[in-house]
Amino acid sequence: MIRFDSVWFSYNTKQVLKDISFSMHAHEKVAILGESGEGKTTILRLILGLIRPDSGHIIIDGEDIANKTEDELSQVRRKFSIVFQEGALFDSLNVKENVAFCLREYTRMSEDEIDKQVKELLRIVGLEEALELMPEELSGGMHRRVAIARSLAACSEPKMLLYDEPTSGLDPVNADNICKIMLELSRNARGSVIVTHKVFDAMKVADRFIFLKGGMIIFDGEREKLIHAPVREIQTFIQELNPKP
C-alpha cells in the first residue's frame, strides 16, 4: 500500500531523510523508532502529502503522490486515520462536539446519526461518559483517546491507522490503555504505523520495526531480530526492555 523509493527530504539546510526506501502492506503493524529529530514524524507527514520530498517517489496504492494537487491529496488522506502527538482538540468545543466536527463538515449524516456515531466512537475508546467535558477537564490519557475517536470520525473506514507518539507523556496505565485501543482498532486486517521513542509500547502493538539513525534506515525487521541486532545504537535505544537492577 505504501512505498518509499529513494526519498530525500530536508528542512531548510538540514538533511532529515537520506535515500529512504521501504514498503508496507495495508495489513502490517509497523513501528518507526529512533531518537528525536531522526525524521519519524516526517515520514508520516510525507505519507499524507502534508510535505513533499526533495526527490524520490512516495507511492500510495500504486500512485505517486509527490506531485498531486491538494484536491487529489484529499482522496489519498481518506485512506488513513491519523492521530498526531498533540491531539489538537478544539479548546472551545466539548468532547462530543470535537468528535462530531468532521462528521458535520464532511458527511451528510443527520444530527441523530451523528449523535449515534459519536457515542459509538467514544464507546470504542472507553469515554462514553465524557460527552460534555471540555478539553481542559481531560487527563492526558483521556485527551489522547478523544483524539483517536475524532480521527476515526474523520475517516470511518481507513486502510491504515497512523499514530505519532500516541503514548508520549502518559503514565504506564494510560499508555497501556492506548496500546490496547490501538490493537483493537487493528483487528479485521487493518494495518497501523506507530511513530514512537517508547520501545516497550512499540513492542505491544507492532510486528515489524523500522529504526532510523542519521536520516537512514539502519534496521527493518521483526521483534526478535531487533532485540538481538548487533548495532550499538539500537541496543542503547532498546535498553528499557531489560532495565538494570
> CA–CA separation, 29 vs 189, rounded Å?
10
Phi, psi of 197, rounded to the nearest 5 degrees? -110, 5
The pLDDT-based confidence of 21 (bands split at 50, 70, 90) is very high
pLDDT at residue 1 is higher than 70: yes
Burial class (CB in 10 A: 0-12, 13-18, 19+), 214: exposed
- What pLDDT does 56 receive? 96
For the segment 131-158, the average pLDDT, to the nearest whole number, is 90
Give the pTM.
0.91
- What pLDDT does 39 receive? 94
Query: 53-70, pLDDT tens digit by residue?
Result: 999 999 999 999 988 999
User: The domain 24-51+70-79+159-245: what is its CATH number?
Assistant: 3.40.50.300
User: What ranges do the domains of the chain cover?
Assistant: 24-51+70-79+159-245, 89-157
- Do 215 and 39 contact (CB within 8 A), yes or no? yes
